[in-house]
Structure 1
Amino acid sequence: MNKLQDYGVKENYIIEAKSFPEFELGRVIAQYKGMYKVSLENGEKLAELSGKLRYEIDESLKLPLVGDYVLVSKNQGNVIINKILSRKSVFFRSSNEKKDDKQGIVANIDTVFICMSLNENYNLNRLERYLSIAWDSGAIPVIVLTKSDLCESIQEKIKEVESISAFSDIILTSNKENNKEKFKKFLAKNQTVAFIGSSGVGKTTLINELIGEEILLTQEIGKNDKGKHTTTNREMVISLYGGVIIDTPGMREIGVRDINLDKYYDDIEELIKKCRFSDCTHTNEPGCQVRKAIELGTLDKRRVENYFKIKRENSYDGLRGKELEKQKLDHMFKEIGGMKKVRNFIKDKQKRRGY
């Protein structure tokens, strides 16, 4: 019995591994603090990084992730990870404080299920953030709307989600029905999927249903529909249909730096290119195609505002302290000429008042 095949190994990784005959191919199936669990052909082993690999890694995104294919060597009871093979896809989030801190979530997934519940967790801006990152990751996003039995305006919510879905599939689930068949086509043998979303949206409950037993712990959500962090480690499990599933910790906030917005906001980016002025702020300039589309009703104002909010976060990447604060203030006062004019305006006003 080949355990590695149970965890969805694809032929291209088997071929890539043959270039390094001194090592054995494995797949990371769980991640803990400083340690990993790796599936090999003959079983599962705990693993740690080799000293050489640890030295070469200069950012957290290059650390092994659940879903990664790795080359290992034996070391008594455990194994040593010597190399991470090329990634087909990688889902990561960025810190809003640290310059280079991109936190990898999962790697080599075919489909990413973005879960959002239809109660107080419902938030289109957050969903757009997940979608923009998912499309940039290399995986195919599918939107999962959970707890539909708690929603009194399902059709209205579905229509809103469809308007921003970028043609992603939408799956509606309920705690009061069997949901397994809705996911079957995504969970065929050799397929890897991941569930992401805020805490308390029901990811773990869904995964337990799809693997046929309650391996993963669940908790009741707290007051005001705010979820508790049930999953604390990333872990890969085998579904009823042969495909493998990765559960991820709930994320209340998700940074969006360094992602390519073209893939999800391409309609807005195309309109910006057609504005009369290259430095158009899309507020009051003549010939602004973005404002025109909003006025005509072909572009949603909320979506545009969310796009520019994400765009600003990207522009703040790498800035620290006063430099970051200056850029934020420059943005706030851009339509009246930036901070230099604002400072001059304040000085003139103070002089007139005799300060």
Structure 2
Amino acid sequence: MELGLNTYQQHEQIDGEKTLGRISLNSADMYKVMHLDGRESNAIPKKRTEQFLVGDWVTLDPQIDFDLINERLPRYSTLGRITGEEYRAEQKCAASNIDQLFICISLNKNLTDSRINRYLYALKKDDEYQTSVVLTKSDLTSDSSKIAAQLAAKLQVPVFCTSSVTSDGIEKLRSSILPGQTVSFYGNSGVGKSSLINVVAQKEVMATSDISAKTDKGRHTTTSSRLIPIENGDFVLIDTPGVKSIGVGANDLAQVFPEIAELAKNCRFNDCRHLDEPDCAVKEAVQNGTLAQKTYDQFLALQKESELTQGYLDKKLAKKLNQKAEFKKQTINYHRYRKPPM
């Protein structure tokens, strides 16, 4: 298969004379690259300090035992998340050039509105890729279809209700993936992501593990991102490790809380934060019961956390830039130094 090349060319122009490949594995900065004929080989960057993401398109200079990576082609999308807290917060990217992201949420006791809102706020990028919510393990509850319909109406994103045991909803999910697209399934460990992928792909492509009956959580079955061509469906999967937590940075809260965004149009101030400002339509809606207090509280919590986290990230970036500038200044002064005459 063409590894999503036709889809990539809809976004970016490429030189057809060059040998192309796609990064298929990045494990501790050791790379594998997949060729258009499906052959996979070890790869070494020409610039040893350059780093790549699984999904990157690259130009290659084939050698006897490996491929030399000459350059990375432009990315039209990047999948990443924020890890850590406070000054330990950092942006961690997992994949690139994806067309659809499926956020997997299990219909077990870990299903909460706040979890879904957090994932959407942290990962949804309407200008880069399509985001959908996939409810897994629908066989655990008889209300799964009702829950999916309510979420779809509230979040204004596609919501799929699936079961890897009964195969309910699988065909609908599979048909949403267009030929040549690159997709990724993302979610907490133990949500049934690997089992879901196997059913969608119609073959065993992912290892699976049991989850704890006590915590409803699972072990990581994927330790690093991996690019996997899926012949049944003619699409490319980028599998990413399961996550235990996900941070939030600067993003548009309106895409997660459209009802609050609509109310905010009637606030006195355009930059109203819906805290202590006068004539706040959002607070008025909470007081008269047209906006749920729970929704408002979740909005404020994400708003506060995102502002703090982004502040930490901005300070870390400023510190890094200052250090680079200082190092450059010292280097220039060193080369300009002239030993005084004796």
TM-score range, shorter chain: 0.7 to 0.9
Q: Structure 1 residues 279, 11: closer, same or farther in 2, change over 3 A?
A: closer
Does 2:30 align with 1:25? no
The question of whether the paired residues in 1 share the 8 Å contact of 2:80 and 2:92 is answered with yes
Does 2:94 align with 1:105? yes
Aligned pairs, number: 308
Alignment deviations for residues 105-149 of structure 1 (CA, whole Å, 9 cap, x no partner): 221111111111111221211211222234326211111111111
Does 2:224 align with 1:224? no
Percent identical pairs in the alignment equals 33
SS in 2 for 1:257: coil
Q: Structure 1 residues 81, 277: closer, same or farther in 2, change over 3 A?
A: same
Q: Distance in 1 between matches of 2:210 and 2:253?
A: 35
Please point out which of 12, 29, 41 is paired with 1:45: 41
The residue aligned with 1:16 is: 13
Structure 1 regions of 5+ residues with no counterpart? Answer: 58-62, 325-355
- Displacement, 1:312? 1.9
The residue aligned with 1:351 is: none
Aligned partner of 1:294: which letter?
Answer: V
The question of whether the paired residues in 2 share the 8 Å contact of 1:34 and 1:48 is answered with no
The residue aligned with 1:237 is: 228
The residue aligned with 1:88 is: 76
Alignment deviations for residues 282-319 of structure 1 (CA, whole Å, 9 cap, x no partner): 35654121112223444333333222222222322465
Q: Distance in 2 between matches of 1:213 and 1:288?
A: 54
The residue aligned with 1:141 is: 131
Q: Distance in 1 between matches of 2:111 and 2:162?
A: 14
The residue aligned with 1:338 is: none
Q: Structure 1 residues 298, 111: closer, same or farther in 2, change over 3 A?
A: farther
Q: Distance in 2 between matches of 1:247 and 1:229?
A: 12
The question of whether the paired residues in 2 share the 8 Å contact of 1:17 and 1:24 is answered with no
Q: Distance in 2 between matches of 1:278 and 1:259?
A: 17
Structure 2 regions of 5+ residues with no counterpart? Answer: 317-342
Q: Distance in 2 between matches of 1:133 and 1:27?
A: 26
Q: Distance in 1 between matches of 2:293 and 2:255?
A: 19
SS in 2 for 1:199: coil
The question of whether the paired residues in 1 share the 8 Å contact of 2:107 and 2:138 is answered with yes
SS in 2 for 1:144: strand
The residue aligned with 1:114 is: 103
SS in 2 for 1:282: coil
The residue aligned with 2:328 is: none
- Displacement, 1:31? 2.4
- Displacement, 1:244? 1.6
Moved more, 8-17 or 134-143: 8-17
The residue aligned with 2:291 is: 299
The residue aligned with 1:333 is: none
The question of whether the paired residues in 2 share the 8 Å contact of 1:27 and 1:68 is answered with yes
Alignment deviations for residues 256-305 of structure 1 (CA, whole Å, 9 cap, x no partner): 21334344445434544643357866356541211122234443333332
TM-score (norm 2): 0.79
Q: Structure 1 residues 16, 122: closer, same or farther in 2, change over 3 A?
A: same
Q: Distance in 1 between matches of 2:290 and 2:67?
A: 56
The residue aligned with 1:201 is: 191
Q: Structure 1 residues 314, 182: closer, same or farther in 2, change over 3 A?
A: same
Q: Structure 1 residues 195, 305: closer, same or farther in 2, change over 3 A?
A: same
The question of whether the paired residues in 1 share the 8 Å contact of 2:86 and 2:309 is answered with no
SS in 1 for 2:302: helix
Aligned partner of 1:178: which letter?
Answer: S
TM-score (norm 1): 0.76
The residue aligned with 1:308 is: 300
Q: Distance in 2 between matches of 1:71 and 1:98?
A: 37
The question of whether the paired residues in 2 share the 8 Å contact of 1:28 and 1:64 is answered with yes
- Displacement, 1:200? 0.5
Q: Distance in 2 between matches of 1:316 and 1:125?
A: 18
